[in-house]
Amino acid sequence: MRRLILKVIDFFYIPLFARWIPVRTFRYIACGGFNTTLDIVLYYISYHFVLHEKMLRLGFVIISAPIAAFLMAFCISFPMGFSLSKFVVFPESMLKGRTQLVRYLLIVSCCISLNYIFLKFFVDVCHIYPTVSKALTAVIISCFSYLTQKSFTFRINQRLKAKS
């Protein structure tokens, strides 16, 4: 599966972007773009068709529809994003998979907090439509995520990289 994904990504990389973007960065953008698009589509479906734009009542807890839709989409986008990052974008990382997963979860936890803050801000304060708010939030979170995943979660030992 990894080879197929790389063939598809690299098919577009070589003729169009090879001069301007390093291959790892392009792969991150492609995988992240796919995962973000999937997340937004799942968010839209959850918000409109699962929740019907209504609050989610879980016994003693009530979750607003925008936040509940975010959590529903997250249940799929988290494992998808980790798998794509680990096996497609950063396969050279010598960190143990368990370490990567813990670090990924830590960064994603920060991203969840930022998602919550930005969604509440855009929807409740700025009165921006929830799906548009989710897209704006995704752009901000993607920049943060790329920088932290590259330098922390899937860090590649530069000495090993230089030898290969």
CA gap 150, 24 in Å, rounded: 10
Instruction: Give the model's pLDDT for residue 134.
Output: 87
Q: Residue 136 CB: number of other CB atoms within 10 A?
A: 16
Is residue 111 scored above 80 in pLDDT? yes
Residue 112, pLDDT score: 84
Looking at mean pLDDT, say which of 53-57, 110-114, 144-148 comes out highest. Answer: 53-57
The CA R_g of the chain, rounded to the nearest whole Å, is: 18
Helix (H) or strand (E) holding 5: helix 2-16
pLDDT at 158 over 70: no
d(CA 77, CA 116): 16
Mean pLDDT of the 99-109 span: 93
Segment 109-122 mean pLDDT? 92
Instruction: Give the mean pLDDT of 130-153.
Output: 88
> Where do the DSSP E strands lie in 33-93?
56-58, 61-63
Cβ(51)–Cβ(69) below 8 Å: yes
Both structure tokens of 80: 């998808």
Element (H, E) at 160: helix 158-163
**Confidence tier at 159 by pLDDT (50, 70, 90):** low
Percent of the chain topping pLDDT 70: 95
Q: Name the E strands within 36-163.
A: 56-58, 61-63
Residue 160 has pLDDT above 60, yes or no: no
Q: Do the Cβ atoms of 107 and 146 come closer than 8 Å?
A: no
Parse the chain into domains and list their residue ranges: 2-163
Cα→Cα distances 98→57, 118, 152, Å: 34, 30, 14
Residue 41 reports pLDDT greater than 60: yes
